[in-house]
Structure 1
Amino acid sequence: MSTAGVGDSWANLPWLSKAFMGWTNIKYALEDHGLVDKEIRLTTMDWTLVRASRLQFDDSKQKPTDTKADVQTLNSKGDGMRMTDSVSVSSVSRVLVKVAVEGLFIKSAVVVRD
């Protein structure tokens, strides 16, 4: 799991997000994600980089049986990202499991949003 703004998705990140990530201590986490991105791409094993848009904690009032619509996937560059995009922790979890079980997006990155 990674974050939107890493690698080739930086160019499509909304300018306000770039400012926030570039001018705060978050820039160090972003640099670390970038290093992991580069290292993973050097391996011969199957991998997928799931880049979450703004991560939101789940609503504690939501019942476990509630189902949400499928998470939207954008390409590696995050074409179409918006300032208002976010994704819940449970949505990212579902994507990670689906990617692993179904073998999706092998040797590529994908930006996800609700």
Structure 2
Amino acid sequence: MKKCALLVAGGVAAIVLVANLGSIVGLAISLVIMYYAFKKFVQAKTVVKKVFWAVLGLIALSAAASNVPAIIGVAAAYVLYIVYKKWNKHKPIMEPVDDPFINFEKQWAELKRNY
């Protein structure tokens, strides 16, 4: 039953991830552009260059904000990762704590000594 639930959750997460793959790529590209624009803005010496990099950063920010469904896709990727980890989790093999034959040997030795 647990494997069936994991299979269903993994299937739904995979479908959501594939459906939002485009917006995830768009979000990643816009975040890279925004990071680059911020770095260039900090390094710029003139006001014109600072304005240019600020405008480019704002455009990248608006592009990142328009890719909000990518957050759902990233959450689906995380759920898929959790399902993968739970699916491959092995139950530990239980070793016998008290072997009945060892006890039997001890008791047999005690009986032999007493008689």
Normalising by structure 2, report the TM-score: 0.24
More strand per residue: 1
| Rg larger in structure | 2
**TM-score, length basis structure 1:** 0.24
Report which of the two has the higher share of helix. 2
